[in-house]
Amino acid sequence: MSADDGDYRQGDSWLGRVGALLGLLAPHRKVLAGATALLLVGTAFSLVQPLLAGQVIRDAAAGESLVWSLAALIGAYLLHAVTDTCGLYVLERTGESVLVAVRSRLTGHLLRLSIPTLDSLRTGDLISRVTVDPTVIRNAVGTSLVQLMTGALTLIGTVAVMIWLDWLLFSIVIVTVGVAAGAMLLVMTRIETASTQLQESVGALSADIERALTGVRTVKVNNAEDREQERLAQLSGDAFAVGIRAARLRALGNPAMHLAVTGSFVVSLLVGGVRVANGEMELSSLVAMMLLAMNLLIPVGDLFNGSVALQQALGALRRIESTLALPTEDRDGIRPQQIAPASRPVSTGVGEPPENVHSALEFRDVHFAYDEREILRGVTFSVPARGHVALAGHSGAGKSTIFSLVSRFYDPDAGAILLDGRSYADRARREWRSEVSLLEQNAPLLFGTLRDNLTYREPGLADDDLQRAVELAGLADLVARLPRGLDTSVGEHGALLSGGERQRVALARALIRRPVLMMLDEPTAMLDAETEKALNATIQAVRKECALLVIAHRLSTIREADTVIFLRDGRIADTGTHDELVARNVDYQHLVGMNQ
């Protein structure tokens, strides 16, 4: 995690996590100070109201004019309403600002996670962490923290006024409220745990919903709707059970506080009524005390609700902190000293780049392992500029791993990789990737228009450059047929286009970057013979623009290549033209189905 994420992790202590939560408020401290001031002014007006009500009763009993005392009471009510409304609006607005900031930081971090990290996580849970958890934080920042502060100050002010008016009635109130407050504190520590469990349950449910919807065609064709529904219902039930547990804990505290305040009000009214009847207390003082006793419910409720929301926010903060602690590519970038320099590889006799030929891509004695499983074992080859090289081999031979290394999704354990003559190890990922394009087998398109997909890397692309890519990829006829041309929607994942059309769109998108190297992952694997032939012709035209490195399984794709690199068990077993390999390599013959 980058240094600026430090606000989110101040340690595991409760105070440390509260400090991290308060750190979110730092950019908004002036606005929050103003909102708090408004709420405190409103609190002062609410405390004055019982005293003014008592003054109205005294004026009425003395036969004096009620105009000024009533005007003061009404004014206090109105000013309380205005200041309270303004303060709450500013708080809500600030909470929304915090929500936007947290979500922006989370989304930015998730998009920069390393591929190994993303491969180990569930997309739906990550979506939940961006959408649900920051909302809980927003609620805490927008209301609970200020509720705690204003509630505490209001409680102190109310207590002080009650003691000043009549300490005996106050002692009755404070005893009953104190008992309920003790009960409330017992459940506070459990609410954070329950809230964290609830958010994790919602995250698991979101992940499985995303899984089912992403593979909805597979679900339907296998008549698995009922099974998926049962699975999701089970997860919903788990979330329900955790939610009930959290609700039970919240329910234990709030009614207790309300009953305590109401009970103290009834007892105080009885005791005070007797004292008024005996002449030991003025009626105006009793009215003021009763109003204050009822008002006591507000700060006590604020303290409880604020405490509950704070505990929930701390639970959400744990998940946000853990997300922001996940390693990003920027933080996890390779350093030159991490990879053996390998200025020239030891000669292997296979795929050796000629000394006098400039290469678009070079692998020099590259080793790589997933965890402890070795995938590449000293791979050395080159792809000439404007060359067309095919990678062939059985599943697990290392073809896709080579693509992942060239794309810098992973880092080699040893050896060197060069692009356009420049080393892999000392170049930033963004700079490296700006010279590489990858056309994946399933040609994923994004929801939006055809233009959006073509200009995804460069939204402001000039029309001439866009038209060049469209013609080079053989998309001109498609654009002419579409009802709105380039501004026609392609649907979710490009569902409104055929497989061949999606491949061509992805190819045009990749060409717009004018890459040094284009990687094609069996581009014709899912196409019919006619579409395959047309796309192969397009790919041959692309050779005039850049070098091609192709993962090839189909014989037609392999034949098109200038050189075929035959991989076996993470090593280069042979290299040459297709005809050369067929003539001399039995394993290759079996691979391409031509055992001669």
Q: What is the CATH number of the domain that holds 449?
A: 3.40.50.300
Strand partners, 383: 361
In-domain check, residue 341: no
318 and 228 within one domain: yes
* Residue range 108-122: mean pLDDT, rounded: 80
Collapsed DSSP state (helix, strand, coil) of residue 280: coil
Decide if 135 is inside a domain. yes
Please tell me whether residues 176 and 243 are part of one structural domain: yes
Pairing of the two strands 547-551 and 436-439: unpaired
pLDDT for 263 equals 66
102 lies in the same domain as 205: yes
Mean pLDDT, rounded, of the chain: 75
**Per this entry, what is the length of the chain?**
596
Residue 192 lies in a domain: yes
| Contact present, 174 and 159 (Cβ < 8 Å) | yes
What secondary structure letter does DSSP report for 489?
B
Q: Give pLDDT, residue 260.
A: 62
pLDDT at 349 over 70: no
Q: Give a yes or no: residue 345 inside a domain.
A: no
pLDDT tens-digit readout, 525-543: 656 666 667 667 777 777 7
Mean pLDDT in residue range 234-245? 74
**Residue 4 pLDDT exceeds 50:** no
pLDDT of residue 501: 80
* Confidence at residue 356, expressed as pLDDT on a 0 to 100 scale: 43
**Per-residue pLDDT, 255:** 60
Percent of the chain with pLDDT over 90: 7
Residue 336 is assigned to a structural domain of this protein:
no
Could you report the per-residue pLDDT of 296-316, keeping only the tens digit for each?
666 766 776 777 777 777 777
pLDDT reported for residue 67: 83
The residue among 437, 462, 550, 453 whose CA lies nearest residue 495 is 453
Cβ within 8 Å of residue 217, ≥6 positions away: none
567 in any annotated domain = yes
What residues have CB less than 8 Å from 488, skipping those under 6 apart? Answer: 449, 450, 482
pLDDT, mean of residues 143-168: 72
Residue among 314, 305, 313 at smallest CA distance from 151? 305
Q: Are 35 and 94 in contact (CB under 8 A)?
A: yes
In angstroms, the CA 318 to CA 265 distance is 41
Which helix (H) or strand (E) is 58 found in, with range? helix 29-62
Last residue of a domain, one of 279, 307, 324: 324
Once rounded to an integer, what is the mean pLDDT over residues 81-109?
A: 81
Q: Encode pLDDT of 246-256 as tens digits.
A: 666 666 655 65
**Class of residue 465 by CB neighbours under 10 A (exposed 0-12, middle 13-18, buried 19+):** middle
Per-residue pLDDT tens for 372-399? 788 999 999 999 988 889 999 888 888 9
* Nearest to 199, CA basis, from 238, 172, 154: 238
pLDDT class for 566, splitting at 50, 70, 90? Answer: very high
Sign of the Cα torsion 483, 485, 490, 495 reads positive
Q: Is the pLDDT of residue 217 over 60?
A: no
pLDDT of residue 344: 36
Find, among 24, 102, 304, the residue nearest to 32 by Cα. 24
> Same domain for 371 and 497?
no
Question: 157: which 2 tokens?
Answer: 């002010």
Q: Quick one: 209 and 72 in the same domain?
A: yes
Task: Tell me how far apart the terminal alpha carbons of the chain are, to the nearest angstrom.
Answer: 57
pLDDT single digits (tens) 576-595: 999 899 888 888 888 887 53
Question: How far apart are the C-alpha atoms of 57 and 64, rounded to whole Å?
Answer: 10
Q: Pairing mode, if any, of strands 373-384 and 547-551?
A: unpaired
Q: Do 37 and 20 touch, CB atoms closer than 8 A?
A: no
Mean pLDDT of the region 25-38:
79
Query: Is residue 265 in a domain?
Result: yes
3-state secondary structure of 576: strand
* 565 confidence band (pLDDT: 50, 70, 90): very high
Among residues 464, 492, 514, the one where a domain terminates is 514
What's the pLDDT at 428? 82
* 210 Cβ contact partners less than 8 Å away, ≥ 6 residues apart: 122, 123, 124, 127
pLDDT-derived band at 32 (thresholds 50, 70, 90) equals confident
Is 571 found in the same domain as 542? Answer: yes
**Banded model confidence at residue 222, pLDDT cuts 50, 70, 90:** low
Domain that holds residue 468: 442-514
Q: pLDDT at residue 75 above 70?
A: yes
Q: What is the mean pLDDT of residues 95-122?
A: 80
What does the alpha-carbon distance between residue 440 and residue 524 come to, in Å, rounded to a whole number? 11
Q: Which of 93-107, 288-302, 329-343, 356-370 has the lowest mean pLDDT?
A: 329-343
Instruction: Report the DSSP pairing between strands 359-370 and 414-419.
Output: antiparallel
Q: CA 84 to CA 167: how far, in whole Å?
A: 29
Instruction: Mark whether 472 and 505 lie in a shared domain.
Output: yes
Domain-located, residue 502: yes
Residues in CB range of 529: below 8 A, 6 or more apart: none
Residue that is last in its domain, among 472, 489, 514: 514
3-state secondary structure of 528: coil
Which of the residue ranges 221-225, 449-453, 469-473, 581-585 has the most confident prediction, judged by mean pLDDT?
A: 581-585
Residues 248, 126, single domain; the answer is: yes
In 3-state terms, what secondary structure has residue 570? coil
- What domain count does the chain have? 3
- Please give the pLDDT value at position 133: 79
Instruction: Using the predicted structure, report yes or no on whether residue 342 has a pLDDT greater than 60.
Output: no
User: CA–CA distance from 420 to each of 6, 345, 484 (Å)?
Assistant: 39, 17, 40
Instruction: Indicate whether 104 pLDDT > 90.
Output: no
401 vs 557 pLDDT, higher one: 401
pLDDT confidence of 145, banded at 50, 70, 90? low
Whether 40 and 161 map to the same domain: the answer is yes
Q: pLDDT over 70 for what percent of the chain?
A: 75
Q: Model confidence at 336, in pLDDT bands (50, 70, 90)? A: very low
Q: Please tell me the predicted confidence (pLDDT) of residue 594.
A: 55
Give me the long-range contacts of 170-175 (CB less than 8 A, separation at least 24).
Answer: 170/289, 172/264, 172/267, 172/268, 172/271, 173/261, 173/264, 173/265, 173/268, 173/293, 173/296, 175/264
Do both 301 and 416 map to the same domain?
no
Q: What is the pLDDT of residue 188?
A: 58
Question: d(Cα 585, Cα 568) in Å, to the nearest integer?
Answer: 12
For residue 434, is pLDDT > 80?
yes
Q: Do 106 and 134 touch, CB atoms closer than 8 A? A: yes
| pLDDT band (50, 70, 90) for residue 575 | very high
CATH of the domain at 211: 1.20.1560.10
pLDDT on residue 347 = 32
29 and 129 together in one domain: yes
CA 571, CA 416: separation in Å to the nearest integer?
16
**How are strands ordered across the β-sheet holding 422-423?**
373-384, 359-370, 414-419, 422-423
- Is residue 177 within 8 A of residue 60, CB to CB? The reply is no
CB 158 within 8 A of CB 295: yes
| Distance of alpha carbon 357 from alpha carbon 386, whole angstroms | 12
Per the model's pLDDT, the better-predicted residue between 347 and 202 turns out to be: 202
Place of tokens 């032939």: 533
pLDDT value, residue 160: 78
Instruction: Judge if 510 and 528 occupy the same domain.
Output: no
209 pLDDT more than 80? no
How sure is the predictor about 5, in pLDDT bands with cuts at 50, 70 and 90? very low
Sheet containing 517-521, strands listed edge to edge, beginning at the edge strand earlier in sequence: 436-439, 517-521, 547-551, 388-393, 563-568, 571-576
